[in-house]
Amino acid sequence: MEKQKFLVYAFPVLLILALVEALIYRRLTKRDFAWKESAASIGVAVGYRTSVVLATMVTGGLFLWFETIRPWRFTMDKWYHWVGLFWGLEFCYYWFHRASHEVRWFWATHAVHHSPEHLNFSAAYRLGWTGHITGSYFFFAPLIVLGYDAKIVFMMLGINLLYQFWLHTELIPKLGWFEYFFNTPSHHRVHHSTNAQYLDCNYGGVVIIFDRMFGTFVAEDEKDPCRYGLITQVKSNNPFKIAFHEWIKVLKDLHTSRSLKDVVGFLFARPGWRPDGKGLTTKNLKMTETVTP
């Protein structure tokens, strides 16, 4: 896909920026940088690229098929074609990202991205390997059916993801009026946080407008510093364990299922769901205001 080519070309530049950020972090904070964790993120990124190459052989054809059933085609020779695509993709991305947090089937892939315990540029590379298997990319299929070429849609998605690279840092403070309209490092720190009040929020890509519209926006509170990672941390720098840790949990939970309802719940309910209602779901964590380290 065009998105993947775009990100491959950008990767060396992003890698250099991540190194520069690490050096600045050490200089400003006088603290050790999480080099091993960052190296693990790069290892996960290599696995992600491999999975994409293999999966695109199947899903690429499916997205091209969507082009055959659309009632019309946008030629992209008008400025409003691009404006429509930008906002359409932002809308689809919001719901894709929200589902990736609120439906365990999608979270099993997305949890990989949230597994670093330190937020820095290298965390942006840490992407799950099973997104094509779960079908998460089909959140963007409506744009193709509505008339946009698949390669243009995924090129725009690539730009969206590239924008998000700079959001993964603790070094950039709040940015004034920019915070109201756009996704910023401050908003994304909250998104990556395991603090109870910060869970499941700030899903936007480039803009934060849809979070404000749909009630999922939470501002960073200096009185409640962000803690990063997962509710139950992976505690490993092995790329394979990072990539599949949540799927292993899913399989273990399915093994304990006693009914079809349990199976459906373990696969498609919110992450942390348990049959007795006492699991570590976002709702329960916010009610107790406690987070398991």
What string of pLDDT tens digits covers the 293 residues of the chain? Answer: 544 555 667 778 888 888 999 899 888 888 889 999 999 999 999 999 888 888 877 777 888 888 899 999 999 999 999 999 999 999 999 999 999 999 999 999 999 999 999 999 999 999 999 998 999 989 999 999 999 999 999 999 999 999 999 999 999 999 999 999 999 999 999 999 999 999 999 999 999 999 999 999 999 999 999 999 999 999 999 999 999 999 999 999 999 999 999 999 999 999 999 999 989 899 999 888 754 44
Task: With respect to residue 47, please indicate whether it lies within any of the assigned structural domains.
Answer: yes
Structural domain harbouring 246: 2-288
Q: Determine, yes or no, domain membership for 151.
A: yes
pTM of the model: 0.92
Question: Does residue 274 lie within any of the structural domains?
Answer: yes
- Burial (CB < 10 A; 0-12, 13-18, 19+), residue 49, is middle
Number of domains in the chain: 1
Query: 199 with 192: CB under 8 angstroms?
Result: no
Is residue 200 within 8 A of residue 270, CB to CB? The reply is no
Residue 249 lies in a domain: yes
* Phi–psi pair at 138, nearest 5 degrees: -75, -5
Q: Is residue 104 part of a domain?
A: yes
Domain-located, residue 275? yes
b/e sequence 104-122, b meaning 16+ C-beta within 10 Å? bbbbbbbbbbbbbebbbbb
Q: Whole-angstrom Cα distance, residue 223 to residue 284?
A: 22
Q: Quick check: is 293 in a domain? A: no
- Residue type, position 253, single letter: D
DSSP string, 40-52: HHHHHHHHHHHHH
